[in-house]
Amino acid sequence: MNTFLLFVLTAVAEIVGCYLPWLWLRRDGSAWLLLPAAASLALFAWLLTLHPAASGRVYAAYGGVYIGTALAWLWVVDGIRPSRWDLLGVGLCLAGMAVIMFAPRAT
């Protein structure tokens, strides 16, 4: 559970770090948005160092959680409710992530 929460926090930091420059460029936001964006991306990079291992499997798991977090952002921040296709896609990504992370392995 702690790893999952770390994944979500990492995803939020990455999304915020990319969303704020988008607001500046696409929605005529203030250039001051770039300062918290840079801080958020620095936080994102630091949070990556806290993950249990820097392996492909961990990043595959992060990717699945990132996709779910991005769709939650779409709903909460942008006010766009994800479609059933969006939810199906997230489910498929999380199922794929679970296969990668929890498959039996030879020791």
Convert the pLDDT of each residue in 54-99 to its tens digit.
Answer: 677 788 888 889 999 999 999 999 999 999 999 999 999 999 888 8
DSSP label of 26: H
Q: Can you give the pLDDT at residue 71?
A: 96
The answer to the question of residue 36 being in a domain is yes
Distance from C-alpha of 98 to C-alpha of 57, rounded to nearest angstrom:
10
Distance from C-alpha of 100 to C-alpha of 107, rounded to nearest angstrom:
16
Distance from C-alpha of 66 to C-alpha of 55, rounded to nearest angstrom:
16
Instruction: Summarize the confidence of residues 39-67 as an average pLDDT.
Output: 86
The answer to the question of residue 107 being in a domain is no
Q: Can you give the pLDDT at residue 1?
A: 66
Query: Measuring CA to CA, which residue among 53, 79, 64, 76 is closest to residue 11?
Result: 64
Q: Can you give the pLDDT at residue 101?
A: 80
Q: Can you give the pLDDT at residue 40?
A: 98
Question: 70 exposed, middle or buried (CB, 10 Å; 0-12, 13-18, 19+)?
Answer: middle
Higher local confidence (pLDDT), 1 or 86: 86
What's the total number of domains in the chain?
A: 1
Q: Can you give the pLDDT at residue 15?
A: 97
Domain limits at 24?
Answer: 2-102
Mean residue pLDDT of the chain comes to 91
Q: Can you give the pLDDT at residue 80?
A: 96
Spatial CB neighbours of 81, under 8 Å, sequence gap ≥ 6: 75
DSSP label of 8: H
DSSP label of 81: P
pLDDT category at 27 given cuts 50, 70, 90 is: very high
Give phi and psi for 28, each to the nearest 5. Answer: 55, 40
